[in-house]
């Protein structure tokens, strides 16, 4: 009979130390073990040679070192982008991560859930539905698995893969502590971004959490809000889970976050030609940009194969126009009009950038993750 052991990769360093001390093991031993696991990527307790053999046996009996299985990997023909499909302990709990390299910048885009609860209609993951929250160990081991395959440490990590991070809040916090630990990868917090659609109360919780003195290593983690429209009704169509927690409340939480952390905000903005790039949109974005220091990442919409069969019947002309845009293929995008939108934002002194579509040919670009290989 198989005995399921707790994955030791789930524990941040402070929690691991508590466990050791509760079991009458010298606290300093936890730092040795943590460093072996999270900096040297040791996957067998018996290979940790700077701790007593008795401790190796104790750990081996109580805990596992569980890495997800890489069941598929694909490389872009256009860029240095790779996509990895992982399978957890439960075979149905699959999730993806993306490796992106642009000059000296190496970004890992990682998942916090298998599937997603949010149901955003422009996102392939949203059509999968929700399968499971990933543990802290499953989150960080995506990073370790990609490092082992490419022999490159990330300069940046973004929680923008599958899932809504704030619907897996505690595990995401623990994973941030692990990735920034001095005895781990030591990823600077300012090089890590957590992206959210804005879950009620969680932006404030996050601001309070990362501002605690004991959490100084994650003080500067960046927050990205998946905004996508400044029109309440349109945003609710794009992000069904946003219903009941309006933009006014989201903006108030964003202001709270900035005042608490002094960390600049990023707004993620999927561009739909003729839908969310009107003069009214530009005026509202200008007003929003004056609330706190921020920048806008404008992302071309990447069409999703199963949208055509999944959308309900439009209820009005606005929905009809949106649904028609969602069903259009890549070649319909007018980059001339996209550039006009960007230029219009910049003319209003808004910091706006077009985010690249790395990995679009392997369904690894923003909104395309859906276990396709």
Q: What is the pLDDT of residues 198-243, one digit of tens each?
A: 999 999 999 999 999 999 999 999 999 999 999 999 999 899 999 9
pLDDT at 89 over 90: no
Structure confidence at residue 372 (pLDDT): 54
Mean pLDDT computed over 180-184: 97
- For 61-86, write each residue's pLDDT tens digit: 999 999 988 999 888 888 889 999 99
pLDDT at 365 over 60: no
Structure confidence at residue 358 (pLDDT): 59
Q: Which helix (H) or strand (E) holds 14?
A: helix 13-22
Alpha helices (runs of H) in 23-92, residue ranges in sequence order: 27-38, 53-62
- What token pair was written down for 263? 């960390």
pLDDT at 138 over 60: yes
Share of the chain above pLDDT 70, in %: 88
Structure confidence at residue 106 (pLDDT): 96
Catalytic residue ranges: 96, 366
pLDDT at 98 over 90: yes
Q: Name the most confidently modeled range: 95-104, 285-294, 306-315.
A: 285-294
| ∠ CA 151-364-190, rounded to 5° | 60
Q: With cut-offs at 50, 70 and 90, classify the pLDDT of residue 311.
A: low
Distance CA 50, CA 33 (A): 9
- What token pair was written down for 115? 């599937």
Structure confidence at residue 328 (pLDDT): 67
Q: With cut-offs at 50, 70 and 90, classify the pLDDT of residue 197.
A: very high
Structure confidence at residue 331 (pLDDT): 46
Specify the pairing of strand 80-87 against strand 69-75: antiparallel
- What token pair was written down for 221? 């983690």
Share of the chain above pLDDT 90, in %: 69
Q: With cut-offs at 50, 70 and 90, classify the pLDDT of residue 368.
A: very low
Structural domains present in the chain: 7-64 (1.10.150.530), 69-362 (3.20.20.70)
- Closest of 265, 161, 183, 271 to residue 220, by C-alpha: 265
N-to-C CA span, the chain? 34
Q: Residue 170 half-sphere exposure, CB side, CA atoms within 13 Å?
A: 3
The better pLDDT of the pair 302, 23 is held by 23
Contact call for residues 275 and 321 (beta carbons, < 8 A): yes
Q: What average pLDDT is seen over the chain?
A: 89
CB contact set of 120 (below 8 Å; sequence gap of 6+) = 126, 197, 226, 238, 239, 240, 241, 367
- 8-state DSSP, 265: E
- Of 59-68, 93-102, 134-143, 357-366, the poorest mean pLDDT is in 357-366
Strand partners, 72: 85
């Amino acid at each position: 009979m198989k005995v399921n052991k707790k994955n030791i990769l789930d524990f941040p360093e402070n929690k691991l130390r508590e466990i050791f001390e509760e079991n009458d093991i010298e606290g300093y031993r936890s730092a040795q073990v943590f460093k072996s696991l999270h900096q040297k990527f040791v996957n067998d307790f018996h290979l940790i040679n700077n701790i007593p053999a008795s401790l190796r046996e104790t750990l081996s009996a109580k805990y596992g070192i569980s890495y997800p299985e890489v069941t598929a990997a694909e490389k872009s023909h256009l860029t240095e982008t790779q996509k990895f499909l992982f399978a957890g302990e439960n075979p149905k709990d699959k999730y993806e991560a993306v490796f992106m390299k642009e000059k000296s910048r190496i970004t890992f885009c990682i998942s916090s859930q298998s599937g997603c609860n949010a149901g955003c209609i422009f996102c392939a993951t949203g059509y999968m539905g929700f399968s499971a929250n990933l543990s802290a160990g499953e989150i960080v081991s995506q990073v370790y698995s990609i490092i082992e395959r490419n022999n490159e440490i990330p300069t940046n990590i973004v929680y923008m893969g599958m899932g809504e991070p704030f619907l897996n809040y505690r595990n995401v916090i623990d994973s941030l502590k692990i990735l920034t630990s001095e005895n781990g990868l030591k990823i600077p917090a300012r090089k890590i971004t957590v992206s959210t659609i804005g879950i009620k109360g969680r932006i404030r919780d996050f601001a309070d959490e990362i501002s605690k003195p004991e959490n100084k290593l994650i003080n500067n983690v960046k927050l990205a809000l998946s905004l996508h429209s400044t029109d309440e009704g349109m945003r609710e169509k794009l992000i069904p889970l946003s219903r009941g927690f309006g933009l006014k409340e989201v903006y108030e939480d964003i202001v709270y976050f900035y005042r608490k952390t002094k960390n600049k905000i990023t707004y993620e903005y999927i561009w739909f030609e003729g839908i969310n790039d009107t003069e009214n949109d530009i005026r509202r974005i200008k007003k929003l940009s004056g609330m706190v220091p921020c920048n806008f990442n404008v992302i071309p919409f990447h069409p999703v194969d199963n949208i055509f069969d999944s959308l309900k019947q439009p209820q009005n002309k606005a929905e009809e126009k949106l649904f028609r845009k969602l069903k259009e293929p890549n070649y319909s995008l007018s980059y001339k009009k996209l550039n006009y939108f960007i230029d219009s934002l910049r003319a209003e002194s808004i910091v706006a950038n077009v985010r690249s579509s790395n990995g679009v040919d392997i369904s690894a670009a923003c909104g395309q993750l859906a276990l396709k290989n």
